[in-house]
Each structure stands twice: as C-alpha cells, then as structure tokens.
Amino acid sequence: MMLAVFGAVLLVLGLFAGVALVLAPLGLVAWSTGPVLWLLFPAFSVFGYVLFVIGARNASIRWLSLAASCLLLLLALASAAGLVLDAASVLKPVGSTVSLWYVFIVAGLVGAVGAARGGDAAPPAAARSSP
C-alpha cells in the first residue's frame, strides 16, 4: 500500500508538471516551464504510475490506474486543443508550442498504454460481483 500512495503522489506531481507545460505557452498561467519540468513530467508520470500499479494489491485499487490513464489522455487532448487553437489563430501562444507537442505525445502514449492495460480492470462493485 505504501508504494501505491508514493506512486499516486508522484503521478499527481507529474500531471501537474504536464498541466504547467500545457497552460504556460498558451498564456493561461504565468508559470515558468524550464527543462526540469520537461524531465519531471514523463519521469514522475511513468514512475508514479508504475509504483501505483505495483503497490495496488486488489481490484478496488487497480481500477484507479484506469482513471490515471484517463487523466493523461485528457492532458493530451488539452494539448491537442491548444495546438488546434493556435493553428486556427484563435489563441495566440506567448511562446513556442513545442511543449504542447511534447505533452501531446508523452501523455497520449502513456495514457493510451495505461488505458489499454487497465481496460480489464473493473470498478470495486463489479469486481466483487464477478464469479
């Protein structure tokens, strides 16, 4: 259980780094997105996800990994939306959109792999009623 908690905290920190990498270039927040965030986003997201899944001992916790994958996919979707809004000149980024591409690729890949892996996980109620 300790690994699951530690992994969840790392995953949240990784998701926060990804959110910063998406919102800052769009000018929605005035945060700094240096190279440390670029490294911590995938490292904390992947390492936190792996520790969370390893530390989860039963189906009632494992289905939460699917929720984490969905959050990563939502982050990838937000990056894609920012790229489309930039391409359509609806929203003008304050800087480069490289971080949007980076988050789109990393969050999309990690989220898709996690969602595909967690697709057989059931919520707690369904897990108890299965034969």
**Interval 21-47: pLDDT, tens:** 999 998 888 888 889 999 999 999 889
pLDDT band, residue 62 (cuts 50/70/90): low
Count of other CB atoms within 10 angstroms of residue 5: 12
pLDDT at 8: 86
Residue-wise pLDDT for 77-131, tens only, equals 999 999 999 999 898 888 888 999 999 999 999 888 878 876 555 555 554 554 5
CA dihedral sign, ordered 119, 53, 50, 13: positive
C-beta of residue 15 within 8 angstroms of C-beta of residue 72: yes
Q: Return phi, psi of residue 86, to 5°.
A: -70, -45
pTM value surpassing 0.75? yes
